[in-house]
Amino acid sequence: LDKLAVNFGSEILKVVEGLVSTEVDARLSYDTAESVFRAKRIIELYEAAGINRSRILIKLATTWEGVQAAKELKKEGINCNMTLLFNFAQAVTCCEAGVTLISPFVGRIRDWYQNSTGKTYSAEEDPGCISVKKIYNYYKKYGYDTVVMGASFRSKEEVLELAGCDKLTIAPKLLEAMEQSDDEVPLKLSAETAKDAEVGPKITVDEKTFRWMLNEDAMATEKLAEGIRNFSKDLVKLEEFVKEQM
């Protein structure tokens, strides 16, 4: 499957100028050593195809083990995209580890809160947007270089609420909705405004603190576990499909 993923990534890189993310097997989300091994193998496959590692982001789930794998990979010039990120402890652990990029899931956070409270949130009060704003402001206020790339949007209003974020990954239908809109797009986030943002003191998150803070956040605990399970199910389906074609 690693070779298949690299083949797809190589084709994508023929038509995009930037980076491509390739995910390590989600079933390794709690295994640092094996995640590092598989990530290195993915990079070796890309380099064998003539693609420099600087164009690849290795995607890992934001478990404690996943962040430690990203920290080790960074030492060898391998950059990572930390996915399934739902809470502040995960974000702080990533920036302290020097991770290249994080992908906090805006829409999935909102979904959980809407399902649990029955409330419909405006973009301004959207729990997913609020989470990303805090992470962005914390990173910029305390001088971390980790890139914040908001992901998993449910509406163009959510996207616009994070105008100014380092990067955003936006579905085609939302891009089309934005293209057709004449709404003003005021800047919501910037390194300058982050200086005065209320994000609390700078903290350090070790393993026991990470696990406790995650445990105390029902939404993040449930969505992280759910995401890993679903990614794993999709891998099994892909494995079965590939076997049928052989």
Measured CA to CA, the distance from residue 26 to residue 183 in angstroms comes to 39
Provide the H-helix boundaries in the chain.
2-12, 32-48, 64-74, 88-96, 106-117, 127-141, 156-161, 172-179, 191-194, 207-215, 218-245
Tokens of 112: 């959980």
Residue 139 near residue 131 (C-beta atoms within 8 A): no
59 is catalytic: yes
Identify the bridge partners of residue 101 per DSSP, sorted by sequence position.
81, 147
Tokens of 109: 């956070």
Q: What is the residue whose two structure tokens read 């797809």?
A: 8
Residue 158 near residue 123 (C-beta atoms within 8 A): yes
Residue 161 near residue 183 (C-beta atoms within 8 A): no
- The radius of gyration of the chain from alpha carbons, rounded to an integer in Å, stands at 18
Identify the bridge partners of residue 148 per DSSP, sorted by sequence position.
102
Measured CA to CA, the distance from residue 139 to residue 100 in angstroms comes to 12
Of 165, 197, 157, 202, the C-alpha closest to 181 is 157
Pick the catalytic residue: 3, 14, 59, 74?
Answer: 59
Q: Active-site residue numbers?
A: 59
